[in-house]
Structure 1
């Protein structure tokens, strides 16, 4: 009984780790440089934070590509 519980736990951890890895590596730094190149806000955020494409956040508020991701509301 303890052995099967142990194996079930390892299997569950493996599935969870695989899901995390898939989400973590959904995008890659492939040379996209402008907001026009981005397919989603998540991709733009990835390029800003993981690839260092700071030009995606022109006003330095931490939100890339305001046209895709939205941003501060103007008063």
Structure 2
């Protein structure tokens, strides 16, 4: 699994089912081809998985300008 990829809905369901059947994170990861840490992170944060807001400097361009409209007094 490369950094930043997310589990598909099918994989999420499989992780949930296997974990409910008392499989270890290592066994689930090996079966699906992922690291046990990724499986564990999903299991612990199922409700917020894949919804983290990306941080960074906000864009300087206003919503008005981002639509490609010209306006204002700058010519």
Q: Do they superpose with TM above 0.5? A: no
TM-score under structure 1 length normalisation: 0.23
